[in-house]
Amino acid sequence: MASFNLSPTISLSLIDRRLGVVCPTIRQTMKSVQRTTQLLLLATLLVASLLLTGCDRKEKIVDVNTPNGGVEVERSTETGEVTVTVGE
């Protein structure tokens, strides 16, 4: 007849063996959750940076190109500020 030793060492080794089978699955799941969270955070930061950067809305009033250079006049649609750029 087989005898069972119920010492703490054996019971812990049995638990360790059982967790050894389960732990890789838990680790894979946790890594998957961690990567998903990181990707979501990265996407949120990307969208936030694009929204905060915005774009410079200007309308072109005059654009003159000549062989010696050119003149470009732009007006900001938000502030009404006029910018004159002379190219040589």
Domain assignments of the chain as residue spans, ordered by start: 7-54, 58-87
Taking the C-alpha atoms of residue 10 and residue 87, their distance in angstroms, rounded to an integer, is: 85
- Residue 10 has a pLDDT of 47
Taking the C-alpha atoms of residue 31 and residue 35, their distance in angstroms, rounded to an integer, is: 6
SS3 78: coil
Question: Average pLDDT of each block of 10 consecutive residues along the chain (88 residues)?
Answer: 50 52 68 91 92 81 87 87 87
Taking the C-alpha atoms of residue 50 and residue 84, their distance in angstroms, rounded to an integer, is: 27
